[in-house]
């Protein structure tokens, strides 16, 4: 009875989806069946013998044609594909190319072989926009040396061009990206004209280039005079100014000179001379006082002689100031009085840069 029951149970377990079947081996001692001979699987057909099976070969009869290629969409038709959009096929689909180097597949003037244009775009896909053309020609003026520094990714060219009210003017750039607004030395009569070009008010009795190459001014007639020099700043800037100056005041008992910058409608002092205790503003007329800076900076204990020498970078270095707002104007204002003695001012060099 037992063999009959075992046979019945095994038959049920092989036909029932729920019944668990024991791991049964009917006869462990039976000899293993003979294994088939060790032969390699048959090679798939490769009619042209190019190493690619016929069912993968783009042309099974042409050994120069093998596997399908990867093709990249060239949506803007500039011959360079979008590396993010590819497909595999034996023949390039419409609007697809074999190479994938387009940095912008929506703009045809942007690809690695494009020439850089003055269009605020990175045409040649090197990560820089308008490099080499910005500021280099009249048709592509820059707004500042700082813009050039940013675009070029390095110290800008020595000089660049900038458009102002339809005119293109040349400016020099410093390595830190600042723009040289005024680079002046009292040398000859043409230097006097360059300086005078920015004079807003001047009723000095003496105003001249001396024989030893200095700009001198004084109120020789004891009339208490004012010199107001204003340099408009039309270069885009973030309020950073650098000034190199060589200036001397002689016997300035009741005289004073200021170097200042107007930023955000406020005069900020860059350099100022001493103002003695007994210097009354009433010494000057209302017309002259109109040109005084917004507020005086006064060192009541200073000398009546002084020198500003920020041209020697090995000593003091230039005057640097980071103002709160965009600088619109640099001012140099001198109030001269020589009632008591011969007050004199001498300016040798003046360089102003903004960034």
Applying CB under 5 A, the residues found at the interface with Ca ion are: 74, 76, 78, 80, 102, 104-105, 110-111, 116-117, 119, 121-124, 126, 128, 130
State in angstroms the smallest separation of the CB of 98 from Ca ion: 12
State in angstroms the smallest separation of the CB of 67 from Ca ion: 24
State in angstroms the smallest separation of the CB of 134 from Ca ion: 8
Which backbone phi and psi does 12 adopt, to 5 degrees? -65, -40
Give the nearer residue to Ca ion in terms of CB position, either 60 or 81.
Answer: 81
State in angstroms the smallest separation of the CB of 136 from Ca ion: 12
Give the nearer residue to Ca ion in terms of CB position, either 69 or 302.
Answer: 69
State in angstroms the smallest separation of the CB of 69 from Ca ion: 17
DSSP string, 8-45: HHHHHHHH-SSPPPP---S-TTSPPPPPPP--PPPPPP
State in angstroms the smallest separation of the CB of 167 from Ca ion: 23
In terms of phi and psi (left: phi > 0; alpha: psi -120 to 50; beta: otherwise), the region of 242 is beta
Cβ(146)–Cβ(178) under 8 Å?
A: yes
Tell me how long the chain is.
Answer: 355
Alpha-carbon dihedral sign for residues 194, 197, 199, 201: positive
Give the nearer residue to Ca ion in terms of CB position, either 108 or 192.
Answer: 108
Closest chain position to Ca ion (CB): 102
State in angstroms the smallest separation of the CB of 120 from Ca ion: 7
Closest to 150 measured CA to CA, from 243, 236, 263, 264: 236
State in angstroms the smallest separation of the CB of 253 from Ca ion: 60
State in angstroms the smallest separation of the CB of 122 from Ca ion: 4
Cβ(331)–Cβ(222) under 8 Å?
A: no
State in angstroms the smallest separation of the CB of 114 from Ca ion: 8
Cβ(69)–Cβ(88) under 8 Å?
A: yes
Cβ(255)–Cβ(337) under 8 Å?
A: yes
How far apart are the C-alpha atoms of 157 and 152, rounded to whole Å? 9
Contacts of 94 (CB under 8 A, 6+ apart): none
CA dihedral 90, 96, 97, 99 (to 10 degrees): -100
Give the nearer residue to Ca ion in terms of CB position, either 75 or 185.
Answer: 75
Give the nearer residue to Ca ion in terms of CB position, either 134 or 354.
Answer: 134
How far apart are the C-alpha atoms of 234 and 236, rounded to whole Å? 6
Give the nearer residue to Ca ion in terms of CB position, either 76 or 216.
Answer: 76
Cβ(311)–Cβ(304) under 8 Å?
A: no
Give the nearer residue to Ca ion in terms of CB position, either 144 or 274.
Answer: 144
Closest to 192 measured CA to CA, from 208, 212, 210, 172: 208
Neighbours of 84 (CB within 10 A): 10
Give the nearer residue to Ca ion in terms of CB position, either 96 or 260.
Answer: 96
Give the nearer residue to Ca ion in terms of CB position, either 56 or 126.
Answer: 126
Give the nearer residue to Ca ion in terms of CB position, either 57 or 116.
Answer: 116
């Amino acid at each position: 009875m037992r063999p009959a029951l075992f046979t019945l149970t095994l038959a049920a377990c092989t036909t029932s989806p729920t019944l668990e079947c024991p791991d049964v081996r009917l006869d462990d001692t039976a000899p293993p069946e003979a294994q088939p001979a060790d032969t390699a699987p048959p090679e798939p057909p490769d009619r042209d013998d190019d190493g690619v099976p016929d069912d993968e070969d783009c042309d099974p009869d042409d050994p120069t044609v093998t596997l399908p290629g990867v093709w990249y969409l060239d949506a803007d038709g500039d011959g360079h594909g979008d590396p993010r959009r590819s497909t595999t096929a034996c023949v390039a689909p419409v609007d697809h190319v074999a190479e994938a180097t387009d940095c912008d597949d929506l703009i045809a003037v942007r690809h690695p072989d494009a020439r850089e244009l003055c269009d605020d775009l990175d045409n040649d896909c090197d990560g820089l926009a308008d490099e080499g053309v910005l500021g280099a020609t009249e048709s592509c003026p820059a707004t500042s040396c700082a813009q050039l520094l940013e675009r070029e990714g390095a110290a800008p060219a020595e000089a660049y061009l900038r458009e102002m009210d339809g005119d293109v003017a040349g400016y020099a750039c410093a390595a830190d990206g600042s723009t040289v607004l005024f680079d002046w030395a009292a040398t000859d009569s043409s230097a006097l004209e360059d300086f005078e070009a920015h004079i807003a008010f001047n009723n000095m009795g003496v105003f001249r280039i001396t024989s030893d190459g200095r700009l001198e001014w004084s109120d020789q007639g004891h009339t208490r005079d004012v010199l107001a020099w204003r340099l408009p700043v039309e270069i885009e800037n973030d309020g950073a100014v650098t000034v190199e100056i060589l200036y001397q005041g002689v016997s300035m008992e009741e005289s004073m000179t200021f170097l200042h910058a107007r930023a955000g409608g406020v005069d900020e002092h860059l350099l100022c001379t001493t103002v003695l205790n007994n210097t009354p503003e009433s010494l000057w007329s209302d017309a002259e006082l109109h040109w005084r800076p917004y507020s005086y900076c006064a060192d009541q204990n200073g000398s009546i002689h002084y020198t500003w020498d920020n041209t020697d970078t090995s000593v003091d270095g230039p005057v640097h100031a980071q103002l709160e707002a965009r600088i619109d104007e640099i001012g140099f204002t001198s109030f001269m009085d020589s009632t008591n003695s011969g007050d004199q001012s001498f300016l040798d060099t003046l360089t102003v840069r903004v960034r």
